[in-house]
Amino acid sequence: MSKAVLFFADGTEECEALLVADLLRRARVEVIIASAMGRRALVSSHGIHLNADALAEDVDYSDVDMVILPGGIPGTPNLAENKTVTDTCVSFVRAGRKVAAICAAPSVLASLGLLEGRNATAHAGFQDKLAGAIVHDEEVVVDGSITTSYGLGGAIPFALELVRQLAGPAEADRIQKAIAYRH
C-alpha cells in the first residue's frame, strides 16, 4: 500500500486538501494529514475546524511515497514557515521522491529552488512567484517527481493524477467512474 502525507496548516484551502485525501483514501492509499502548526486542531481558510492525524514534526517520512501541499491563504505561507514541511520537500525532490502542490502552494516549492527549469503551474495569482519554472496554465502539470495544479478548479484531475501515481491507472479510472467525473 502506498503512503502519502498531506500537510495542513491554519488557512489551508479545505476543498483542495480534503478532496485529495478523500480520493487517495478511496484508492486505499494511506493518507496522513499532518499539521504544520505544532498542534492537531486546525482551522481551514473558510473556517472549518478539523483535527490532523499527526504533527508534521512527528511523522516518520522514511516509508512515505509522496508529500502534498494544498494551497489557500494564509495556509500556503503557514506551510512555508514550517521547517519540517520545507526540509521534507527539499529532501524528497533531491531523492527523486514524489512531491505535489496545488493552487498557491507551488510557490513554496519555487521559493526553495525546487522548480528551477521544471514545468509547473499554480493559481493565476501565484504564477509570477514560480521563479525559475517553465509556467503552464493547465489543470495539472507533471515534471519528473513533482506534480502541480492551478487551484480548486483542478483539484479533481490533480487528485486523480496522484491516485494514478500511487495506486495505478486502473484505480484512477475506477475512482473517476465511481465519482461520476466525466471530464
CATH number, domain with residue 63: 3.40.50.880
Which DSSP symbol is given to 33?
Answer: E
pLDDT of residue 126: 97
CB neighbourhood size of 82 (10 A): 21
Q: State how many domains the chain has.
A: 1
Please write the tens of the pLDDT for every residue from 26-84: 999 999 999 999 999 999 999 999 999 999 999 999 999 999 999 999 999 999 999 99
Alpha helices in 27-99 (DSSP H): 75-80, 83-94
Extended beta strands in 83-136, E state: 98-102, 119-120, 134-135
Instruction: List residues with catalytic annotation.
Output: 103
Does the pLDDT of residue 121 top 90, yes or no? yes
The secondary element (H helix, E strand) that includes residue 8 is strand 3-8
Strand partners, 148: 101, 141
In this prediction, residues 3-32 reach a mean pLDDT of 98
pLDDT of residue 183: 86
With a threshold of 0.85, does the pTM exceed it? yes
With bands split at pLDDT 50, 70 and 90, how would you rate the model's confidence at 133? very high
Query: What average pLDDT does the structure give for the chain?
Result: 98
Q: At 95, is the pLDDT very low, low, confident or very high (cuts 50, 70, 90)?
A: very high
Could you tell me whether strands 30-35 and 98-102 are parallel, antiparallel, or unpaired per DSSP bridges?
unpaired
21: exposed, middle or buried (Cβ count in 10 Å: 0-12, 13-18, 19+): buried
SS3 168: coil
Letter string b/e over residues 139-160, b meaning 16 or more CB atoms within 10 A of that residue's CB: bbbbeebbbbbbbbebbbbbbb
What is the span of the domain harbouring residue 43?
3-179
The SS3 of residue 106 is: helix
Q: What is the largest CA-CA distance in the chain?
A: 39
